[in-house]
Chains A and B, each alone.
Chain A
Amino acid sequence: MALPKSLQNREFRSTRSGAFSERLIVISLALCATATVLITVGIIYMLITQSAGFFRSEAVTMSGFLTDTEWTALQSKDLAQAKFGILPLLSGTFRVTLIAMIIALPLGLITAIYLSEFASAKIRSWLKPTLEIIAGVPTVVLGYFAILVISPSLQLISEGAFSTFNATSAGIAVGILCLPMVCSLSEDAMRAVPRSLREGAYGLGCTPFETSVKVVVPAALSGIISAFLLAFSRAIGETMVVALAAGTLPTMTLDPTQQAQTMTGFIVEMIKSESEYGTVQYYSLYAVAVTLFTITFLMTLGGQIIRRRFKESYQ
């Protein structure tokens, strides 16, 4: 049998001509990768140089910044009276984030278990889009939802114990915000667990629920922990919801019914305020930003370490 025409002609594309364009492509890819590194370096440089303007001031000491329990950068116009202790802002961020995680982690994980292990195709087909809608709600809308719906509901239930702006409302709204992320990332991790492991569990007499809790979730643990840490970083950095709903008073308390200005909330407030560029009060926002950055950076680093450790024991 004769060869097909194309094979008789033997007009093959030169395999050499590609070499130069191939190099060009690799170089431009490398340039793009370098850009991300440069941007990161630029951000860190800006944070450090600008916050230097804060720490150089006579009115501030590093130990005071880290241990003082009052933050009045916005409240006191006079520099001599201003207090710069980061702890109240940290505690605000901590309260809001804790409440958000109490909402988002269990609810997100349980929903993910349900979606991945139990839900029929039909239920999945409407539950997943519903979750994606939450992910698409603008944070400013969630902030108003916290003020207009969550706060009044809390006040009704608690007979007025909550102030209009409080850590709990903001925390619940941030939790709702993080929910789709926890859920879809955990679900992906659980769906990636091979079917053979589930069969192994059934074969040993596990019920479907025992299978998901004792085999699927542990096998997907590194993915689930990544999801948790991402959600945590997202909650710490969330700005719009807390700027709207958590209040503008930095408070050093664990009381979730009170106002709780967070680090991000303060930064927004400071930029909006009349404080002049170049004052110590103004530069304090960079000191707060550096603190925030350090925390998120350590979280990411911790996440990498935890993930590597779990990966190791599972290979």
Chain B
Amino acid sequence: MSSVTPAIESEENPDALPDQTLIHIEKLNAWYGDFQAIHDLSLEIPKHKVTAFIGPSGCGKSTLLKWINRMNDVVPGARAKGRLAISGDASNDHAEINVLDPGLDVVGLRRKVGIVFQKPNPFPKSIYDNVAFGPRLHMKTSKSELDELVEWSLQKAAVWDEVKDRLHGPALGLSGGQQQRLCIARAIAVGPEVLLMDEPCSALDPSSTLAIEDLIFELRTQYTIVIVTHNMQQASRCSDKTAFFFEGRLIEAGPTEQVFTRPQQKQTDDYVRGKFG
């Protein structure tokens, strides 16, 4: 394997592995100015699994997601207290990362924790340049290594076959679903361990949505995925663990199957049955 190809390649069946927590969140509180968006939230996010955040609009799902890679840094007045840590990893050779540490190398964190947004946001460049953007920023690669990495990422994101003949055409010429998969390719091209996705399908048509869901299910063999979704079927179809939020608090978290069929809390039950939200 080439030196630029991200070095996570364990193809075991993720369902067979015991849960290993990758992201630890303990007593997290987060504010926008004086408004507290997250209250005393504790949650464990398992490695190489898909964790879904569900809950009504405005309950703090995006806020929590964006704290995991410190995207909130650029929001004026946003701050957080508590513990938010990513386990150390010998194979990726880094010690535990204290995400909220003010002295943290944020650029390094975002390379390990990639993010995909609600609306596909490819840069107004070519398809190739979009995927190569991160690698060019972070590593020294030869032209052939870069070509290989771009192809690898597009293949992982299940969009290679559709774009391989127009790599140097404009990314904005792709359909919405293709653009979103391109954005996923762009995120995995820098070799992250975690992929955060904030309602990645809500701007897409049903068939593109299914394609992305299949992709998410594929990707969890190598990445830890956290997905925010409004769509209950989506959460039950493609996640292993589900966390239900309400008004900035975590109401319930557990294996997806349990949260949807035997929720422990009445609020969760009401929400997953579509009684509110």
Q: Which residues in A have some Cβ–Cβ distance to B below 8 Å? A: 194, 196-208, 210, 214-215, 218-219, 313-315
Contacts A196-B117, A202-B74, A203-B71 known; A218 to B125 CB distance under 8 Å?
A: yes
| Interface pair A204/B114, CB less than 8 Å apart | yes
24 inter-chain pairs at a CB distance below 8 angstroms, sorted by A residue, are A194-B121, A196-B117, A196-B121, A197-B123, A199-B117, A200-B121, A200-B122, A201-B123, A202-B110, A203-B69, A203-B114, A204-B110, A204-B111, A204-B114, A204-B133, A204-B137, A205-B137, A206-B107, A214-B133, A214-B137, A218-B123, A313-B170, A315-B170, A315-B173
Contacts A199-B121, A205-B111 known; A210 to B172 CB distance under 8 Å?
A: no
B110 surroundings in chain A (CB, below 8 A): 202-205
Q: DSSP majority for the B interface?
A: helix
**How many inter-chain residue pairs (CB < 8 Å) link A and B?**
70
B52 at the interface (CB under 8 A from A): no
B108 at the interface (CB under 8 A from A): yes
B255 at the interface (CB under 8 A from A): no
| Interface pair A200/B183, CB less than 8 Å apart | yes
Identify 11 new A-B residue pairs, CB closer than 8 A, beyond the known A197-B123, A315-B173: A196-B117, A196-B121, A197-B121, A200-B183, A203-B69, A203-B115, A204-B110, A204-B111, A204-B137, A314-B172, A315-B172
Which B residues from 166 to 209 make CB contacts under 8 A with A? 170, 172-173, 183, 186-187, 190
Which B residues from 119 to 160 make CB contacts under 8 A with A? 119, 121-126, 133-134, 137-138
Which residue of the partner chain B has the closest CB to A221? B124
- Residue from B74, B108, B117, B125 in contact with A205 in the complex, judged by beta carbons closer than 8 Å: B108
| Interface pair B124/A205, CB less than 8 Å apart | no
B 67-83 to A, binary, CB cutoff 8 A, 1 in contact else 0: 00101011000000000
A196 to B172, CA, bound (A): 14
| Interface pair A204/B186, CB less than 8 Å apart | yes
Which residue of the partner chain A has the closest CB to B135? A204
| Interface pair B123/A205, CB less than 8 Å apart | no
Which residue of the partner chain A has the closest CB to B118? A196
Contacts A199-B71, A315-B172 known; A206 to B137 CB distance under 8 Å?
A: yes
Most buried by B among A204, A208, A218: A204
Q: DSSP majority for the A interface?
A: helix
- Residue from B106, B107, B123 in contact with A200 in the complex, judged by beta carbons closer than 8 Å: B123
A205 to chain B, nearest CB (A): 4
B62 to chain A, nearest CB (A): 12
Which residue of the partner chain A has the closest CB to B107? A205
A200 to B186, CA, bound (A): 10
| Interface pair A314/B190, CB less than 8 Å apart | no
Q: How many residues of B contact A (CB 8 A)?
A: 30
A206 to B74, CA, bound (A): 12
B18 to chain A, nearest CB (A): 31
A205 surroundings in chain B (CB, below 8 A): 106-108, 110-111, 134, 137-138, 190
A204 to B133, CA, bound (A): 8
B108 to chain A, nearest CB (A): 7
A257 to chain B, nearest CB (A): 43
B69 surroundings in chain A (CB, below 8 A): 203
| Interface pair A314/B133, CB less than 8 Å apart | no
A315 surroundings in chain B (CB, below 8 A): 170, 172-173
A206 to B136, CA, bound (A): 11
Most buried by B among A196, A197, A205, A313: A205
B122 surroundings in chain A (CB, below 8 A): 200
B183 surroundings in chain A (CB, below 8 A): 200
A206 to chain B, nearest CB (A): 6
A122 to B187, CA, bound (A): 35
A206 to B107, CA, bound (A): 7
A9 to B12, CA, bound (A): 76
Which residue of the partner chain B has the closest CB to A204? B134
A214 to B132, CA, bound (A): 12
Most buried by B among A198, A200, A210: A200
B178 to chain A, nearest CB (A): 15
Which residue of the partner chain A has the closest CB to B138? A205
Contacts A205-B108, A205-B110, A205-B137 known; A219 to B123 CB distance under 8 Å?
A: yes
- Residue from A198, A204, A314 in contact with B187 in the complex, judged by beta carbons closer than 8 Å: A204
B273 to chain A, nearest CB (A): 34
B 94-111 to A, binary, CB cutoff 8 A, 1 in contact else 0: 000000000000111011
A315 to chain B, nearest CB (A): 6
